[in-house]
Amino acid sequence: MIVCKFGGSSVADAQQIRKVKQIVDADPQRQVVVVSAPGKRSKDDEKVTDMLYACNAMVQQGSSCKDLFKKVALRYTTILSDLGMQAKPFLPVLEEVRQMIDAGHGAEYAASRGEYLAARMVATFFGWEFLDTDPEIVINHDGTVNPETWNNLKRALKPKTKYVVPGFYGCDPEGKVKTFSRGGSDITGAILSSAAKADTYENWTDVSGVFSVDPRLVPEAKVIKQMTYREVRELAGVGAGVFHEEAIAPILASGITINVKNTNAPMDDGTFILPTREKGEHPLVGVSAKSGFSRLSLRKLMLFKKSGIRHALLTMLHIFGIRPTFSLFGVDSIIWFFETTQASDSVINAMCSRLKSEFELEEVSVDHGHAIVGIIGSGVMQDSSVIAKSTTALAEDKIALNFFNYGSSDTSILIGVNATQAQDAVKSLYRALF
């Protein structure tokens, strides 16, 4: 059996939803369909999820979201009438959602309603069961999936029944609606695939698979035919879109095949994501970059003589809400890279003075505007020419390196560059290595 997840562009309007129905009808194995909220219909359009976050923001500022919510409601009623369905029975559902947002149920509740309404609408159109993910999918406060979820879904999924399921949300252990991070319907699809013991998890989007490099940067970019779970996770971790980096965890143990496919070109093979892949002709799968990092640099003579110092410093960072993504250790120095959005300038300043005084550091500084570029592929450690080719290409293109991380994973090489040079670095590396 197959679990399908259709992204926001696949349910953006009636025409797209008709394509979804054709795809689903073409194979009786497709028994569970997870949907996102309607996305953009054109470049300048708005995503329903963004509008719902805006509705909640209005309520937080003390106004009613009534006017703005009309735009949300119109997206659904237009789709319903374009599908030849009655919009009327849906109006009380829309009104109830609006009232709940106005009553201050918060950002996660508001955002989740995009998927909730989409799934109810698609379920009616298909004549399938609607299965709500609240309260079946329990999401811990740190965003991980609570194991209770597996028993809940086992109980909820009846054999020989076809379901439409909303992506992106579940509830927290106390029963309050909780969302995953943005793009989180991919995680819901993975959870349903695992719970329903699917043979394949089809992830339907608006491109024909995962690209080896962002096609906006390199127009001749190719779709990756096969990649491993580790490779997709590492590629998504350095900013490649298409598949959510946290969607591998729920299916890791079951080894289900993921197939990323295009709703607008269903005959294309797409990308297959597997526990292991055939040793193709290329040891690498892709290059990508993620910006938005800050660098914290600490220095003190004989810093590491003090036992437990790393732990103590990390505890201090934690107190200020900083969770570093990458670390580098020198003889007397430590560098941590963290996502800039984790702390405001004033929090960073307060943390730096605390670090300086408490640990008697000679130097503490933070600078912004960093990017991490990843060269991903399970063959990076086997092919020693990858390092030589990469550094030569970057030097020729005058791209300065802030760090080079080789060996901490057998699936990636990570390179720190200034964010202003990140796109050039990706292009340069792609040209040199692919």
User: What residues line the site for ligand ASP (CB under 6 A)?
Assistant: 8, 36-37, 47, 49, 114, 167-168, 182-185
Distance CA 57, CA 393 (A): 46
Residue carrying the six token digits 């219909």: 41
**In whole angstroms, how close is the CB of 5 to ligand ASP at the nearest point?**
8
Of 386, 376, 46, 111, the C-alpha closest to 234 is: 376
SS (H, E, C) the chain: CEEEEECHHHHCCHHHHHHHHHHHHCCCCEEEEEECCCCCCCCCCCCHHHHHHHHHHHHHCCCCCHHHHHHHHHHHHHHHHHCCCCCHHHHHHHHHHHHHHHCCCCHHHHHHHHHHHHHHHHHHHHCCEECCCCCCCEECCCCCECCHHHHHHHHHCCCCCCEEEECCEEECCCCCEEECCCCCHHHHHHHHHHHCCCCEEEEEECCCCCECCCCCCCCCCCECCEEEHHHHHHHHHCCCCCCCHHHCHHHCCCCCEEEEEECCCCCCCCEEEECCCCCCCCCCCEEEEEEEEEEEEEECCCHHHCCCHHHHHHHHHHHCCCCCCEEEECCCEEEEEEEHHHCCHHHHHHHHHHHHHHHCCCEEEEEEEEEEEEEECCCCCCCCHHHHHHHHHHHHCCCCCCEEEECCCCCEEEEEEEHHHHHHHHHHHHHHHC
Residue 42 beta carbon to ligand ASP: minimum distance, rounded to whole angstroms: 16
Pick between residue 36 and residue 428 the one whose CB is nearest to ligand ASP. 36
Residue whose CB is nearest to ligand ASP in the complex, by number: 185
Smallest separation (angstroms) from ligand ASP to the CB of 79:
15
- Least Å distance, CB 36 to ligand ASP, is 4
Output the smallest distance, CB 68 to ligand ASP, in A.
17
Return the number of the residue (35 or 399) whose C-beta is nearest ligand ASP.
35
Copy the structure tokens of residue 413: 């090489």
254's tokens: 């079951």
Tell the smallest beta-carbon distance from residue 182 to ligand ASP (Å): 4
Contacts by 71-78, CB closer than 8 A, 24 or more apart: 71/46, 72/48, 72/114, 73/98, 75/38, 75/48, 76/38, 76/117, 76/118, 76/121, 78/13, 78/14
- Among residues 191 and 348, whose Cβ is nearest to ligand ASP? 191
Of residues 120 and 277, the one with the C-beta less far from ligand ASP: 120
Nearest approach, Cβ of residue 188 and ligand ASP (Å): 8
- Measured from the CB of residue 238, what is the shortest distance to ligand ASP in angstroms? 19
The structure tokens 């009438």 sit at 81
Distance CA 370, CA 373 (A): 10
- Of the pair 8, 374, the CB lying nearest ligand ASP is at 8
Write down the least CB distance from residue 183 to ligand ASP, Å: 5
Q: How is residue 276 written in tokens?
A: 């292991």
* Least CB distance to ligand ASP at residue 147 (A): 23
| Least CB distance to ligand ASP at residue 74 (A) | 18
